[in-house]
Amino acid sequence: MSAYPQPDLRYPTGPFSMPHDVAAEEREQHIADIAAAPFKLRTAVLGLTTQQLDTHYRPGGWTVRQVVHHLPDSHMNSYIRFKLALTEHEPAIKTYHEHLWAQLPDSTLGIEVSLRLLEALHTRWVALLQAMTAEDFARTLKHPEIGVMRLDQVLALYSWHSRHHVAHITSLRERMGW
């Protein structure tokens, strides 16, 4: 048995912890994380071969290709949730079965389509986020599994989500010496 604890490959940046309060400076950092995510993802996959893209980042986990396709799937849902919460009173959002989405045929495409999709989506999402006021970030939505969430909490979640999945790829590359 190793004297050092083994890293949890599911959470290379640590598990998400829902903040109770999100300060303005933290919101700015979360927006910066979301703005940087497409470039960081593109950098993380740069030069990977087809075989490497089809490598699971951990036993029982997705392939790198599935992770790349998952990010725009997930972030499109979040972007729409933001727009719903900004235009409706505490909308009830719909969840989706991300593990099943990752098995659909479009998750076997080349990754460039999802890299471009994430770039375009984040351009719009960041423009929306940067225009939002403190009152906007205090607006709420109702998540069927989590409960009522403020948009600043959703922002924190997707800042983490962006860093979390990029780290799946970069930590795999480090472990494999790619």
pLDDT digits (tens, 9 = 90+) for 131-153: 999 999 999 999 999 999 999 99
Burial of 158 (0-12, 13-18, 19+ CB in 10 A): buried
- Is the pLDDT at 80 greater than 80? The verdict is yes
Q: Which two tokens stand for residue 152?
A: 């600043």
Is there a domain that residue 9 lies in? Answer: no
Mean pLDDT of all residues belonging to the chain? 96
Is there a domain that residue 163 lies in? Answer: yes
Check which CATH number belongs to the domain holding 95 and give it: 1.20.120.450
- Burial annotation 55-92 (CB, 10 A radius, 16+ → b, else e): bebeeeebbbbbbbbbbbbbbebbbebbebbeeeeebe
pLDDT score for 16:
96
Is there a domain that residue 10 lies in? Answer: no
Is there a domain that residue 103 lies in? Answer: yes
Distance of CA 134 to the CA centre of its chain: 23
Containing structural domain, residue 98 = 24-53+62-176
Q: What is the pLDDT of residues 23-63, one digit of tens each?
A: 999 999 999 999 999 999 999 999 999 999 999 999 999 99
Is there a domain that residue 148 lies in? Answer: yes
Is there a domain that residue 36 lies in? Answer: yes
Q: What is the number of structural domains in the chain?
A: 1
Is there a domain that residue 5 lies in? Answer: no
**C-alpha to C-alpha distance for 35 and 139, rounded to whole angstroms:** 21
